[in-house]
Amino acid sequence: MHQIDPDMKACMDACHECHVTCLHMAMNHCLEMGGQHAAPEHLKIMLDCAQICAVAIDFMARKSTHHQHICRECAEICRACAASCEGLDGMEECVAACRRCADACDRMAA
């Protein structure tokens, strides 16, 4: 049986956590809070973040030769999402998940 590289597995796990956290927070917490939480640009970056994390997982699972630049893009979007979430009430979990994912993707992209 083929084993997944431990560093890649750690990155996939961080991407999965970020994907679920961003999607859940956007569709529940942010919509319920309204105001800046539900601003179109904020929701868009959260959904972009969730989607790129899912894409990065797929590319790593396939051991695609393109996974490095997908991970680089994922890290950039995760940082933008964390910046958008910072300062909004109750978004600490999302900020932390995005930063962990960005750091893991940076390592995978290197």
Instruction: Give per-residue pLDDT as tens, 19-68.
Output: 999 999 999 999 999 999 999 999 999 999 999 999 999 999 999 999 99
- pLDDT value at residue 16: 98
* Helical axes 67-85 vs 92-109, angle rounded to 10°: 160
- pLDDT value at residue 1: 58
* Helical axes 67-85 vs 40-61, angle rounded to 10°: 150
Long-range contacts of 29-33 (CB under 8 A, 24+ apart): 29/90, 29/91, 33/88, 33/89, 33/90
What are the residue ranges spanned by the domains of the chain? 6-109
pTM of the full structure: 0.95
pLDDT band at 2 (very low <50, low <70, confident <90, very high): confident
Structure tokens, 38: 């539900």
**What class, spelled out in words, does domain 6-109 have in CATH?**
mainly alpha
